[in-house]
Amino acid sequence: MKSAAFLLLATLTLTACSGPQEVTEPSLPTVDEREHPAYETFDPSGYDDEPPEASAEVQHDVPDVLMAGTIAMPESTGPRVVQGYRVQIFSSADKGEAEEVRDEAMGWWRVVRNDPDAIETMGQGLDANLDFNRPYYRVRLGAFEYRREAEAALPLIRRRFDQAFIVPDRVAIRE
């Protein structure tokens, strides 16, 4: 009984799927049959073709300095803070040890800052920062806007701090 019902159901399913019908493509509406938005069917014929009189004054809320095109940008009031790079030379959980390395780096910079390589790569000087990010104190040198600037300074810094490497950091750029 079950097999007869299954056979009948399979026959009906296959018969329903295979009918002699011709496949037709749906027809696209012609331009006149489509609905257009109101802005596309606007009829300008009821309006004048002539521009307004030359004596007509336009009313607006734009400040006069903007209309004159003479607005000046304010002077920079300080350094610009950007996502830049520093060279990290030391990391430790001991704050005193990190402070010693920072002081050593500043002493080293006072000695080498007149070196032609130092002038070329660190023209504006060398900042030495002691940053704390739990649980470590990190000593980082420089404030470089672009990675290529940090890469140029890295060989000079590695002369004294051979484990130095570049890290991304927020830096203040003096202009």
pLDDT tens track for 51-110 = 666 666 777 788 777 777 776 766 767 778 889 899 999 898 999 999 998 998 888 888
Instruction: List domains and CATH numbers for the chain.
Output: 80-173 (3.30.70.1070)
The mean pLDDT value for 21-33 works out to: 65
Contact call for residues 138 and 164 (beta carbons, < 8 A): no
What is the identity of the amino acid at 100?
A: E
pLDDT-derived band of residue 123, with 50, 70 and 90 as boundaries? low
Asked if residue 137 has pLDDT above 90, the reply is yes
Asked if residue 36 has pLDDT above 60, the reply is yes
pLDDT of residue 167: 92
Residue with the larger pLDDT of the pair 22 and 96 = 96
Q: What residues contact 135, with CB distance under 8 A and at least 6 apart?
A: 93
